[in-house]
Amino acid sequence: MPPAHQATVQPPTPIRSRVEQSQLPMPLPHRRRGRRRWARLVPLVEAGARLGLNGLLLLLGGASLGHLLPYIYNQAQSLASMQVAIDRAETSHLKLKTDLNRYFDPTQSQHLIQEQSGYQNTSERPVVWIAPASH
């Protein structure tokens, strides 16, 4: 028996042949399958998440547009009424402008004076028609 302070040397284990190694069970094959399965599912999950998010954004956009449509119609009606008011103002402006041009046109001044006051030029004689008195 060897002394207690010395370690015992064991003979080396024989190297297994290839046939014996093929008969050994595969180490944790289910973990590899799980990783491969997950690797195949990742693009599907990602595409599903994108589609879901795009659908949600589509619904939110539609709801927002639904809330904005009455406001848009109201603005269109307001614009139409303002366009009518602008047309009236332009017509009035054109009339006032023609009157202003007429009143301050030097060639028309004599005609305007005669029209407004009944003033006659000294070279003209007024003609008054009187119905003949019947006797």
Q: What is the DSSP string of 59-111?
A: HHHHHHHHHHHHHHHHHHHHHHHHHHHHHHHHHHHHHHHHHHHHHT-GGGHHH
Q: What global pTM score does this model have?
A: 0.42
Residues near 115 by beta carbon (within 8 Å), at least 6 away in sequence: none
* Residue 107 structural domain: 32-117
Most confident of 18-22, 42-46, 102-106, 114-118: 42-46
Looking at the predicted structure, is the pLDDT value of residue 93 above 90?
A: yes
The verdict on residue 22 lying in a domain is: no
**122 domain residue, yes or no:** no
| Single-letter amino acid, residue 3 | P
Q: Which of 12, 109, 53 is nearest to 45 (CA)?
A: 53
In the chain, how many domains are there?
A: 1
The arithmetic mean of pLDDT across residues 57-69, rounded, is 95
| pLDDT for the residue numbered 21 | 57
- Whether 27 maps to a domain, the answer reads no
Assess whether pLDDT exceeds 80 at residue 88: yes
